[in-house]
Amino acid sequence: MLPVVGLCAYVEVRPHGRPSGLGSTLSEINHPRFRSLRVTDRQSVLGALDQLFGTEGPD
């Protein structure tokens, strides 16, 4: 799927900062069109989305 999509992303909100099993697994993916971010509170979600879709996005 990654070769044909513009961006595939996973954002995980974990109040205590510990990753879930899925978050840990996905964070190991190393592909320029995949991003995985972990935030610790709901207020940080918009900043995470800005990181994903900002000017530093994938080609």
Domain boundaries, the chain: 8-53
Residue positions counted in the chain: 59
pTM over 0.85: no
pLDDT digits (tens, 9 = 90+) for 1-27: 888 998 898 988 888 867 789 988 998
For residues 34 and 26, give the distance between their C-alpha atoms in angstroms, rounded to a whole number: 9
Can you tell me which residue has the tokens 């513009």? 6
Q: Is the model's pLDDT at 56 over the cut of 60?
A: no
Residue at token pair 């940080």:
44
Residue with tokens 């799927």: 1
Average pLDDT over residues 35-44: 88
Phi (first) and psi of residue 19, to 5 degrees: -75, 155
Note the pLDDT of residue 20.
Answer: 87
Q: Say if residue 57's pLDDT is above 50.
A: no
- What contacts 53, CB < 8 A, 6 or more positions away? 7
Whether 30 has a pLDDT exceeding 90, the answer reads yes
